[in-house]
Chains A and B, each alone.
Chain A
């Protein structure tokens, strides 16, 4: 076992060790120590992840001109029959190594940041324990060798997300949000599970790589029988992949399963940065990326559906983001929109020569993790300072929070796609892939990136400019150096992550590709982005009448977007009015009257019969002896008749 393999095992094990330690000895460890402990273990994990990434990309990963998968660890856990078994293990390939770096980096920053942010919370140690649990689950998810291993960790991620959203469990809205997130994603995971079962039935294996191999070889018997049967115009394989995608859409908050993500902002802000911006929500993208060869080669129609859903969600979420006033919700919708970018990048991608969309998607995943985590952490710093989520309470904070201001600006520039920041490169790659793949999605993406620039700078100006600077605002950042360090490190990522020649490392088939970069192509998106920024400046740079006038002139659309296009209401209508009345109530009636009635019937029959024979136990000695004598006489009579 090489040192790389050992490191990769340690990467996965360290967080769970930290979780167990913190949760078992939580009561005895001082909060300050537990924070440092969690952060230290994650920092070690980050170093190991970087070491493994270095080793994989520059040492042992490249074979015959392509990055190949490397199984660092694999053992059989549960065996069903000769072919079908659930294995646990660690696989290193371009996307999993890339995810290892992203997760450990963002998680370390969030751990560091939380030392300050969560200072003085009652269940500080448990918070760190949950964070470690989440990190463990997420790492286990990305290194899964087996689709079922992925599913197990997928659910673990859901559980830790539930725990962290509901961290402030005395707040009813937090409880409701945690339940909503759990139920919606769980509902989506049902699709994932059915998809897994269909895939394993079709390919007779649960192993990722055997699965991919059996379902992509042109002369494979599995593929022929699987793709041969069709339902409603789509092949069984497409249906299986779409069901798997449903699980991914639930975790990644694709329309119409996005409703949980904005509410999940009830959790502590660092949690939102880690789980609901940088790592967990991209699990869906990662899932599609993991099965990408099957999507691209064997079921392109399923991939197109993924692309359309991604495109629609991107636009839809961006429009809502323009109207929200809670800064975390703006960021939440922005996250949905950005993940949808990744999703449609996958959707427009092809295989082989045309697979730049895959690389672009992963690239955007990589850069987005940094700048979106930075945005959330910055927003957390703002909330920490003003104790409110609402834009109304902010404005003119640039003097009070100088480091937050600068890093937030850098992150906004990155997400708006202004060169040479990280988001520019990845977004250009996505738009270029869309331009070659599907023109409708391309134009939607173009418009959405303009909207992105607008709403991000709306947020920026509303927080840091808009109102005049208050003179009595003292500097809030002096004593919060862990927060500032985390912000600065992430800002470096947000600025420079785009300069990595990503195509050399990550591609669909492992062969390095060159991401196309044409200056002429970039002009339109960049100009649109800058236009969005300028518009935001004109409207929100200083307090003026324009936003109100504009909202008044398109009040119908504005109100619809403000109310998130009534999706929540539709869900409520469907679940409460339709499902409850048509399914729930009859089922409840059946349960109460028929099922319970039977049980109660048995019980009352028993009671009645016992009531009727109870007087036999009268406590009267003479009755007992009478029965006894009667019985003896009867038995004696029977014996006499029988034998005399």
Chain B
């Protein structure tokens, strides 16, 4: 089977990564920022899987890392949403511009 070159996969993942970064920077809603983070994590997962597939086919480390990242992402999302709900209860908004009291 003719394979897609590795560089193309990597370009895909890094484009997705920087799309996520852009979303993280430009969004003002906390939930949308959380979605951007999910994109970023996924792009990294693609990377791990691709490296495992293309460069180290005799090992399974890439798979494991993907697995753990997915697990950690699940934990992270559940915690973040708990925080967001708490914030919403207290400030009645989840706009990042209004929740900047932790400063000088």
Contact = CB atoms under 8 A, between A and B. Distances in A.
Interface of A: 614, 617-622, 625-626, 629
Given A622-B25, A625-B25, A617 B103 contact: yes
18 contacts: A614-B104, A617-B103, A617-B104, A618-B100, A618-B103, A619-B100, A619-B102, A619-B103, A619-B104, A620-B96, A620-B97, A620-B100, A621-B100, A622-B24, A622-B25, A622-B96, A626-B25, A629-B21
Contacts of A629: 21
Contacts of B25: 622, 625-626
Interface in B66-104: 96-97, 100-104
A625 B103 contact: no
A621 B103 CA distance: 10
A617 B100 CA distance: 10
Nearest to B101: A619
Contacts of B101: 619
Q: Is the interface of A mostly helix, strand, loop or mixed?
A: helix
Contacts of B102: 619
A617 B102 CA distance: 9
A274 B96 CA distance: 81
A590 to B, nearest CB: 37
A555 to B, nearest CB: 76
Nearest to B26: A622
Nearest to B97: A620
B104 A621 contact: no
Nearest to B30: A621
Contacts of A622: 24-25, 96
B21 A621 contact: no
Nearest to A614: B104
Nearest to A629: B21
Given A618-B103, A619-B100, A620-B96, 13 more contacts: A614-B104, A617-B103, A619-B102, A619-B103, A619-B104, A620-B97, A621-B96, A621-B100, A622-B25, A622-B96, A625-B24, A625-B25, A626-B25
Nearest to A617: B104
Contacts of A617: 103-104
A629 B101 CA distance: 23
Nearest to A616: B104
A370 to B, nearest CB: 76
Contacts of A626: 25
A328 to B, nearest CB: 66
Contacts of B24: 622, 625
A108 to B, nearest CB: 70
Nearest to B100: A619
Q: Which one of B24, B101, B104 has the highest number of Cβ atoms from chain A below 10 Å of its Cβ? A: B104
Q: Which one of A614, A618, A619 has the highest number of Cβ atoms from chain B below 10 Å of its Cβ? A: A619
Nearest to A622: B25
A620 B25 CA distance: 11
List of 3 A-B pairs having minimum Cβ-Cβ separation, nearest first: A619-B103, A619-B100, A617-B104
A617 B97 CA distance: 14
B83 to A, nearest CB: 12
A620 B26 CA distance: 12
Interface in B21-64: 21, 24-25
